[in-house]
Amino acid sequence: MNSAYKVQIDIETAIPLGLIINEMVTNFFKHCARDSKGKRSFAISLTNISDNKFVFRFVDSGKGFPKGTSLDNINSLGLELIDSLSDQINAKFRFFNENGANCEILLEL
């Protein structure tokens, strides 16, 4: 079972992080394909990896990102927005395919 814990963040981090979450959820509803039962699923998690470092992770059950998509050749306004907002809060953004689309934000609070 996952343990829950409280994380406090300042407003300068909370607003961009909230916008990142909103963009990820919006992208899920726009792009995630339904399975054979007509369902879609996604998970959002925040994992403490050291004293004040966290990984915010979004995973969905879709087909993933188009082949060849990278931060160097983003042609998606949504991914560009997430990357820009991550820079704004001094976080590192990466995305990859693994049983669907995966996005990770490494941030220090």
3-state secondary structure 29-72: HHHCCCCCCCCCCEEEEEEEEECCEEEEEEEECCCCCCCCCCHH
Print the domain residue range for 47: 11-31+42-108
**What angle is formed at CA 46 by the lines to CA 44 and CA 47, rounded to 5 degrees?**
130
23 domain residue, yes or no: yes
4 domain residue, yes or no: no
Percent of the chain with pLDDT over 90: 41
Q: What is the pLDDT of residues 53-96, one digit of tens each?
A: 999 999 988 888 878 777 777 777 888 899 999 999 999 999 99
Q: Could you give phi then psi for residue 35, rounded to 5 degrees?
A: -80, -175
Q: Of 73, 77, 71, 75, which Cα lies nearest the Cα of 103? A: 71
**pLDDT at 25 exceeding the cut of 80:** yes
Tell me what pLDDT residue 4 has. Answer: 67
State the CATH number of the domain containing residue 78: 3.30.565.10
What is the count of structural domains for the chain? Answer: 1
Q: Of 83, 21, 89, 5, which Cα lies nearest the Cα of 57? A: 21
**pLDDT at 1 exceeding the cut of 60:** no
What does pTM read for this prediction? 0.82
36 domain residue, yes or no: no
